[in-house]
Amino acid sequence: MTADRIPVTVVTGFLGAGKTTLLNRILGEEHGRRYAVIVNEYGELGIDGGLVVGAEEEVFELNNGCVCCTVRGDLIRVISGLVKRKGGFDGILIETSGLADPAPVAQTFFSDDLIRQRTRLDSVVCVADARHLLARLADTREAPEQVALADTILINKRDLVDAAGLTAAAAALRGINPTARLLPSTRGDVPLAAMLDQGRFDLGRLDLPAEDEDHEDHDHGHHHDHGRHSHGIDCVSLWLDRPLDPTRFMPWLQQLAMERGRDLLRAKGIVDLAGSDRRFVFQGVHMMMDTDAGRPWAADEPRDSRLVFIGRNLDRAELAEGLGHCRADAP
């Protein structure tokens, strides 16, 4: 971990949600910072690249559609070239196609050694169209995945909906991804300090909400299922107040990522491992998992384990049972 790694912000969101407007706002503000912009286009013409203003030499277009293996290679090549430039950049912004799953972009920063040494994935920002959000969540596969991957969600075009519409949009987003921050906006008018340099993928800064008192108590552990929606994405939160045996928990987490990685969109957790005075932290995208021994447990904080899994076809009971077998006092 080096402090001078270039922060990378991934901007995702469905077609017409306002991603390019947000990028133009970031580039047009008087913040004195230099950003390189990478635009992933769907199709052969990089149209959006022409809409991004004020950054003629810093815009790179990745064509040929979704960021899959082919374009991920292009992404590594472009970023590798960027980090070698004299003068460098204060940050890199990646705008994914509105039809793309942003997960392969995020995975690049977990899997490539050079990219990890010189850059750091800072956050995934999803721009959601408040007026059409519910329809897109219902009739597309990509929109729910974009929401699930995000750690910050702009509920954009709030001026086009009434208070009830804004509330409904927020509830739908919370149902998919209860850990993301929701920021209502009009034309992306959110303070840049609320979106950039957030360190949302920095394991040292990872935090999860404390367990609330409303969950059903079961064997000194709670679990909460935020429900399966029409888009098939579940969020399962698990809480356990007993230390976990590292020789059981680590293989369980590794096996979960390997066997269920395709369906596991996001995973994050703060875990109390028996015999350690430090918080064990992890987060991942699909089967790519980043783990680390975090800061020491504070004397006044409860030593418990909080885990959040967001994905398709997740079995809450199976996950809770598997975690229960990892308890240090389990038979």
And the tokens for 259?
A: 């066997």
**The CATH fold of domain 6-201:** Rossmann fold (3.40.50)
Half-sphere exposure (CA, 13 Å, Cβ side) for 228?
A: 7
User: CATH for 204-324, among 3.90.470.20, 3.40.190.10, 3.30.1220.10, 3.30.2270.10?
Assistant: 3.30.1220.10
pLDDT at residue 71, rounded to an integer: 54
Mean pLDDT per 10-residue interval, the chain, length 331 residues: 77 87 82 79 42 47 47 76 76 80 83 85 94 90 91 94 95 92 91 87 79 42 49 87 96 94 91 95 90 90 92 92 93 74
Query: Considering the entire predicted model, what is its pTM?
Result: 0.82
Q: What's the rounded Cα separation, in Å, for the pair 293 and 278?
A: 6
Strand partners, 280: 271, 293
Q: Which helix (H) or strand (E) holds 74?
A: helix 69-83
Domain boundaries, the chain: 6-201, 204-324
